[in-house]
Amino acid sequence: MTTELRRLRNYIDGEFRDAVDGRTTDVVDPATGEAYATAPLSAQADVDAAMAAAEAAFPVWRDVTPGVRQRAILKIADAMEARQEELLDAECRNCGKPRELTRQEELPMMLDQIRFFAGAARMLEGKSAGEYMEGLTSFVRREPVGVCAQVAPWNYPLMMAVWKFAPALAAGNTVVLKPSDTTPASAVWLAEVIGGVFDEMELPRGIFNVVCGDRETGRLMVEHDTPAMASITGSVRAGMEVAGSAAKDLKRVHLELGGKAPCVVFDDADIAAAVEGIRDGGFFNAGQDCTAATRVLVQEGVYEEFVTALAKAAAEVKTGDVNDPDAAYGALNNAGHLEKVAGFIDRLPAHAKVEAGGERVGDKGYFYAPTVVSGLKQDDEIVQNEVFGPVITVQSFSDEEQAVKWSNDVEYALASSVWTSDHARAMRLSKALDFGCVWINTHIPLVAEMPHGGFKKSGYGKDLSAYGFDDYTRVKHVMTAL
């Protein structure tokens, strides 16, 4: 006896559609390892249709007042909030996330971020008009860039979709969004919500479109002639491929890629607070977060104390399924990723020590125990490369100079944290650490008003904040004779 799988469909020009050629891919529940839905495996014809719809809708959406865009985006947030149980159904099944934790930690942030960008729609800024040459007045217009091709990841499928569509729509752009092939359900649900708002307001139906598919689908979107901008949150490899494809016709590119965040704990830090903050920042969302607190550098005088305390704290962290109220995190995203995370532990050098965890949990789904590894050296694979799982590594350092050198000695540069009671030291480290975010005596909080984005192989461009909004605009100089 087989259970009929739910059928997800693309959302193009206000209509739900199967892929033109009828191809599909299975969508697997990470908590069970079993397929529960199918989604379109979209190809060129589907991408063409979505791009045509977005292109046709752009002139109308571009030319409505910022106030109209604000009202539409606020209505989207209100509709999501009113239908939050459906949202949680889709997102938690998508990802294997604990439901109540997602309700408390992710849902409020999403809604706040959408509402922030609704306000940003009415805050377009530029230099004031002036006579910089005699007899001539100059001013700046800030305009939308056009159609945006956006690719969202699987670790926070809905929140990362929010980070993309909200500033793009607020600035007056139209959107073709591709969710990850492993987590399309919440994006398809989102399309229904947004489509309902645009229908209610009698706005063009092609303003927001969702195309499901795999890596090839994403490539077709980025290489398409229509988009003026490509935005992706994903791996370094994916970001490089997108940048290369976009270069062929000089599209704008917005990249938020991997991370390997150092957490630098000095001997004057509040050790209990550092352990708690790093535990929470390292294991949240099963460590599947490019800002996760996964690489800890501890000053040698408190190293043993810290390792012992962190291992004990990790042993008290529980992973569990969607409906487990005590679960601090859920399953890893897919079987391949579980294998990747386990591989880092299997390949540990002889000088490393697993202080906690280090094994799969259960015999179904993709659960992995909260893991702490000590005794590591700077050039070890697990120190240099992103694990993207519930694994925290700990190294010992001697002084501030060494801490800064080792912190910066990775290819990533997204986020970092400093744990110290010395304000001057914290200020020195905030300058010296080569990362897009430096937290002091905390790790992982984000707010809509502040930018998020990295340097080096963590990508470029900013999410959130007015800086993220500006990334979806272009600047035009207008000069007129008096």
Question: In a 10 Å sphere around its CB, with 0-12 CB exposed, 13-18 middle and 19+ buried, how is residue 430 labelled?
Answer: middle
**What pLDDT, on the 0 to 100 scale, is given for residue 4?**
83
The reported pLDDT for the residue numbered 378 is 98
Give me the pLDDT at residue 125, please: 81
Q: Which residues are catalytic?
A: 256, 290
Which pLDDT does position 2 carry in this prediction? 53
pLDDT of residue 114: 98
Question: pLDDT tens, position by position, for the chain (482 residues)?
Answer: 456 899 999 999 999 999 999 999 999 999 999 999 999 999 999 999 999 999 999 999 999 999 999 999 999 999 999 999 999 999 999 999 999 999 999 999 999 999 999 999 998 887 789 999 999 999 999 999 999 999 999 999 999 999 999 999 999 999 999 999 999 999 999 999 999 999 999 999 999 999 999 999 999 999 999 999 999 999 999 999 999 999 999 999 999 999 999 999 999 999 999 999 999 999 999 999 999 999 999 999 999 999 999 999 999 999 999 999 999 999 999 999 999 999 999 999 999 999 999 999 999 999 999 999 999 999 999 999 999 999 999 999 999 999 999 999 999 999 999 999 999 999 999 999 999 999 999 999 999 999 999 999 999 999 999 999 999 999 999 999 98
Whose CA is closest to 451, among 151, 113, 177?
113
CATH, domain 262-447, list 3.90.800.10, 3.30.420.40, 3.40.309.10, 3.40.50.300: 3.40.309.10
* Boundaries of every domain in the chain: 6-257+458-481, 262-447
> What would the CATH number be for the domain defined by 6-257+458-481?
3.40.605.10
User: What was the pLDDT predicted at 1?
Assistant: 44
